[in-house]
Structure 1
Amino acid sequence: SHLPHLIAYTIVGTADDLQQVTQSEVIKFSAGGFRDFTRIAASDPTMWRDVFLSNKDAVLDMLQRFSEDLSQLQRAIRWGDGDALYDRFARTRAIRRSIVDQGQDDAAADFGRKHD
């Protein structure tokens, strides 16, 4: 659960940096996907600083794995490997659908799961 926070914080910061450099309104004209994805960047910075520092080794391990996965996607785009991109996107789409099917896309306490 830590990595999405780092990614959201980074994407918002990158968008703002780009906006400053290009003198454009990157964030103002971003679409709903940007808003939805970066929602967690509004989280408490003090708490997340402490969480990241307290879990430094695990966070660094996960960041390394994420960086490797991101590098694979960069290579696929660079080399025009549409099959690799499609396979990754289809796989992760199916995973996302299973998350929703399991009820983990519900804002209710405990994702709306009923307990016996």
Structure 2
Amino acid sequence: MASAQEGFNIGFKESVLVGRNFGLVRGITSALASLPSGLREKLVETEEKRINFRHLHESSHSVSTIDALKLFHNGMSRRHANTGNIETDIHSEDVDARSSDKNALDAYYDELRSLVLESPAISTEFRVE
């Protein structure tokens, strides 16, 4: 029973972070997509970046809840298979060492973060407290 609880706790902790980050992707890109084009042009300076935001919006919204759960599960399974110890992976401070085992949903967040950092008129917090 203790082992099941430990597994639940670890999975829950990881899923909250991934879910929060994917929610940021959907929320921020939805907000930008709903803005009038003139305001969007003031916030995102180049057409190329606006296109990238639009593609990220469309792509992230094409992922159903079931698909997101499958992507998350596959990432966790792959991480566990690579090391045999999922808890070590979750608590690892070395992000580069984990990058090949990242959850597929993390790619959406990484792309959002990159686009926002390249768009100084958009201000948001990416750190987790």
Report the TM range for the smaller structure's normalisation.
under 0.3
Using the size of structure 2 for normalisation, the TM-score is 0.26
Higher relative CO (Cα under 8 Å, sequence separation at least 6) belongs to 2
Using the size of structure 1 for normalisation, the TM-score is 0.28
